[in-house]
Structure formats: structure tokens, C-alpha cells
Amino acid sequence: MDTKGYNDLPWRKPVGCPNGSACVEVAALPGGGAAIRDGKNPQGPALVFDAAEWAAFLAGAKAGEFDAPRR
């Protein structure tokens, strides 16, 4: 999705991410959803998730569902 209409949102990125680097940025959307974009291309497309999708992703991340397999 194009980020037009989302550019005025307060986008956040990880604290340790230098400016102009390839970090992911996240913006909270009304209703509990979230938009995600590439920090080095802020005018580019964004992924938009509704509240249920975002909650499911966060729950999976907290549960370790996306952790790399151990060797």
C-alpha cells in the first residue's frame, strides 16, 4: 500500500537504528492496527495490518514463533 495518508503518523524505529539505514519503521493506526515501512524508503509502500492481525503478530513474536531455529 502507498504511504500517502500515512506520512503524518508518528513513525517509530528501533533505538539503535542509525538514520538512513535499512531499519523497519512502525506507526500505530486508529483502532489498534499498525503500518510498517522500510526506513530507508519512507515514501515507498507500507504494509497495513488491522488490530486483530497486529495482535496476532505481536503474540507470535512474544511466543518465539519467529525465532531462528537453534543449531
Query: Which residues are within 8 A (CB) of 59 and not within 5 positions of it... i.e. 6 or more apart?
Result: none
Average pLDDT score over the chain? 89
pTM value is: 0.79
Specify the long-range contacts of residues 56-64, CB closer than 8 Å, at least 24 apart.
none
Beta strands in the chain (DSSP E): 24-28, 34-38, 46-49
Q: pLDDT band at 15, cuts 50/70/90?
A: confident
Query: Which residues are within 8 A (CB) of 48 and not within 5 positions of it... i.e. 6 or more apart?
Result: 1, 6, 29, 33, 34, 35
Of the chain, the percentage scoring pLDDT greater than 70 comes to 93
Per-residue pLDDT of 26-60, as tens digits, reads 999 999 999 999 988 888 889 999 999 999 999 99
